[in-house]
A and B are shown apart, each in its own frame.
Chain A
Amino acid sequence: MPGWLAVYLRELFILRRRLSRLLLAWAVSPLLYLIAFGYAMGQSLSVQGHTYLEFLLPGLIAMASMTQAFAIGSEINIARFYWHIFEEIQSAPVSSASFVLGETLAGLTRALLAASVIILLGALFGLVLSYNPYFWAVLLLNSFVFAALAVALAMVVESHADQALLNSLIITPMAFLGGTFFPVDRLPWWAQKVLYLLPLTHAAQAMRAAALRLELSGLSYLLLATLGAVSFIFAVCTVRRARD
């Protein structure tokens, strides 16, 4: 039985224990966004030929997949600093790459579950978009990028406070500026240049294009795949370095 499977299974056991609470937590924020921005404010708005709710939903899925994939970093952090479980894994014959793969897949699983919750919420609002293979591909890529990045950064931080700071510095700004709530191409050119450096901008655009059957950009897929590979390698390096 490969080592990554043990790491992944451990996270799944924990996830199973908390699933009912987590499903509720994953539903609350998107529901509020859908009600406030989509249903109440956005009924009279039209963006790129679609209702604002149609525009918003793929963005929310991209954002949730990012935040939930990145949340695996907090789980690792707790296991490392509170429960010392990381030592149990480090002292086992499990390679750093296996550890990263197991944790990344755990982050990806959380992200897919959170995204599924939003898809169901959207259906409750009467929104059934095109959830085709291109949509799932970008969802997987986006989740992989942020889960691998979370594993890497969880090995770099030295406390829970550091972890919270990462969320404030990386995730929150990206969530609001990465094309979730508004089309990036309406911003000044220089702002667009900056925002196109964010992986979430590409994920949100690609997800929206797939879900709304718009023209797909291969560049976004390529960029996310490359970032995923780089993040994974970075994570393997930081896990190795974690042995001081």
Chain B
Amino acid sequence: MIHLQGLVKAYKGIQALRGIDLWVRPGELFAYLGPNGAGKTTTIRILAGLTRATAGRAWLNGHDIATEPLAAKKQFGLVPQHLNLDSELTVTENLLIHGMLHRLPYRTVRTRMEHLLEYVELTDKRRAFVKHLSGGMKRRLMIARALLHEPQILFLDEPSVGLDANIRRRIWALIKKIQQEGVTIFLTTHYIEEAEFLAERVAFLDQGRIVALDTPAKLMANLGQWAVDQFTHDNLKTHYFRSREEAQQFAASTTASFTLRRVNLEDAFLALTGRKVS
């Protein structure tokens, strides 16, 4: 469905991507996790045809993005990190223009628009100007817009960045719902809980390279199930344990203050790269 082979991107002396090989399965919800500047957005920009790769190839649903750009662009919907709606236009007008850009007949656009606005719970806002919508509404509208031409792949670049916890949960539920309808989702995030909650497989991206790729459970399993964060006067040290009992025994023996918690993807990322994601 999404296939990347040796993808490299260099600009202004910076190696943003250093050879990415990846295969995302049809219908999968795949997360690309890494800190800011790791190359997540660059990968999506290349796949979406917004920038060219320096080397390597990529296919979307079998269409080479370099040699068949127009066919490749029909395969995906894109929700970029920053808002890119026409603020001066209404919700309906934004969707209509998107439908026309994808060469959909007017009647098809009207029908799908009604369905999608209901889907993202914006039916009552159809005549509202985009500038009058809240951040969460704008994000949901961008998702609806990306789905209007019924793509088989959905690129979500940091879909919940800047949103409060409640709205973030609503966006996650929406993403799950979209995946259940058979859409392959490629998601970039630097929110650990987002990747854990949503993704079937996660790739850790660090300094333009994939350093690990597996299910969240397997990525975390190497460390154990439980963690104790031990706070000393000038340091924080985390210890990992296979069971809660082991962790509790350790915690009981320490004189320093501590936190007992489950192991998360941040721990796995930190163990592999020596750096935190967020």
Q: Contact: B88 with A90, CB < 8 Å? A: no
* Known A3-B103, A93-B70; contact A14-B78, beta-carbon cutoff 8 A: no
What is the predominant secondary structure among interface residues of chain B facing chain A?
A: loop
User: How far, in whole Å, are A94 and B71 apart by their CA atoms in the complex?
Assistant: 10
Chain A residues near B88 (CB, 8 Å)? Answer: 13-14, 17-18
User: How far, in whole Å, are A101 and B209 apart by their CA atoms in the complex?
Assistant: 40
Chain B residues near A14 (CB, 8 Å)? Answer: 86, 88-89
* Known A13-B93, A84-B82; contact A6-B87, beta-carbon cutoff 8 A: no
Q: Contact: B97 with A6, CB < 8 Å? A: yes
Chain B residues near A116 (CB, 8 Å)? Answer: none
B52 is an interface residue with CB less than 8 A from chain A: yes
Q: Contact: A3 with B52, CB < 8 Å? A: no
B48 is an interface residue with CB less than 8 A from chain A: yes
A85 is an interface residue with CB less than 8 A from chain B: yes
Q: Contact: B102 with A244, CB < 8 Å? A: no
Tell me the smallest distance from the CB of A80 to a CB of chain B, in Å: 10
A92 is an interface residue with CB less than 8 A from chain B: yes
Chain A residues near B89 (CB, 8 Å)? Answer: 10, 13-14, 17
User: How far, in whole Å, are A18 and B88 apart by their CA atoms in the complex?
Assistant: 10
Interface size class of B (residues with CB under 8 A): 20 to 34
Q: Contact: A6 with B82, CB < 8 Å? A: no
Q: Contact: A1 with B74, CB < 8 Å? A: no
Interface size class of A (residues with CB under 8 A): 20 to 34
Q: Contact: B105 with A1, CB < 8 Å? A: yes
User: How far, in whole Å, are A23 and B62 apart by their CA atoms in the complex?
Assistant: 50
A129 is an interface residue with CB less than 8 A from chain B: no
Find the A residue at minimum CB distance from B86. A85
Q: Contact: B87 with A83, CB < 8 Å? A: yes
* Known A13-B93, A14-B89; contact A94-B84, beta-carbon cutoff 8 A: no
Q: Which of A52-101 contact B (CB under 8 A)?
A: 83-85, 87-95
User: How far, in whole Å, are A180 and B98 apart by their CA atoms in the complex?
Assistant: 41
Contact with A along B239-251 (1 / 0, CB 8 A): 0000000000000
Q: Contact: A1 with B70, CB < 8 Å? A: no
Give 30 pairs: A residue, B residue, CB < 8 Å, sorted on A: A1-B100, A1-B103, A1-B106, A3-B101, A9-B96, A10-B86, A10-B89, A14-B88, A18-B88, A83-B85, A84-B80, A84-B82, A85-B84, A85-B86, A87-B80, A87-B84, A88-B98, A88-B101, A90-B49, A90-B50, A91-B76, A91-B78, A92-B102, A93-B69, A93-B74, A93-B101, A93-B102, A95-B70, A244-B11, A244-B51
Chain B residues with a Cβ under 8 A of chain A: 11, 48-52, 69-71, 73-74, 76, 78, 80, 82-89, 93, 96-98, 100-106
